[in-house]
Structure formats: structure tokens, C-alpha cells
């Protein structure tokens, strides 16, 4: 998602997650600061677990699984910039 907004990438992310098999994960890298809130909200609303969140040198990293349980990331998972 480098160079595009998270809103533009959401259809692609949604399709990719829907195609995951059990146990597979999708890693999303983004330079868009809004991606943190958008992906947190989307994973919760879509019942796909957000397994990991991180930020390093202005790049955000998300690991998303496919599932049927709501995602409620622990506070320690949120990047310090949030």
C-alpha cells in the first residue's frame, strides 16, 4: 500500500483476506498514517482477527487472519503513534 491511501487499497485487502485458507495470514505494509484506524475498524467490523500491528520508520505493518471472531487488539499491540 505504499503510495496509495488505505481507502483505495481496502477492496484489494478485503479480497485477499477472503481468499485466505485456515492458518494463513495477510501482511499489509502501509505508509498511510490513517491505515491504523481504518484497518483496526475494518478487522473488528469484518470479524477478521488483527494478529499484529507495528510501526517502524514511518511504515505500518499489519498481520491479518481470516476468522469469525471479532478483533480486539490489546493495547500493547497499538503503535506508539496512535
Taking the model in full, what pTM does it have? 0.78
Q: Which residues contact 8 (CB under 8 A, 6 or more apart)?
A: none
Domain boundaries along the sequence of the chain: 6-77
Residue 3 has a pLDDT of: 74
**Residue 72 grid cell:** 480486539
* Tens of each residue's pLDDT in the chain, 82 residues: 667 888 889 999 999 999 999 889 999 999 998 999 999 999 999 989 999 999 999 899 999 999 865 445 555 455 555 4
Residue 74 has a pLDDT of: 54
CATH architecture of 6-77: 2-Layer Sandwich (3.30)
Whether the Cβ atoms of residue 59 and residue 78 lie closer than 8 Å to each other: no
Amino acid at each position: 500500500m505504499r503510495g496509495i491511501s488505505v481507502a483505495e487499497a481496502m477492496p484489494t485487502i478485503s479480497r485477499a483476506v477472503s481468499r485466505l485458507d485456515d492458518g494463513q495470514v495477510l501482511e499489509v505494509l502501509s505508509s498511510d498514517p490513517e491505515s491504523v484506524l481504518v484497518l483496526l475498524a475494518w478487522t473488528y467490523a469484518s470479524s477478521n482477527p488483527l494478529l499484529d500491528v507495528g510501526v517502524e520508520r514511518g511504515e505500518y505493518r499489519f498481520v491479518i487472519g481470516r476468522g469469525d471472531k471479532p478483533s480486539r487488539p490489546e493495547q500493547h499491540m497499538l503503535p506508539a503513534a496512535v
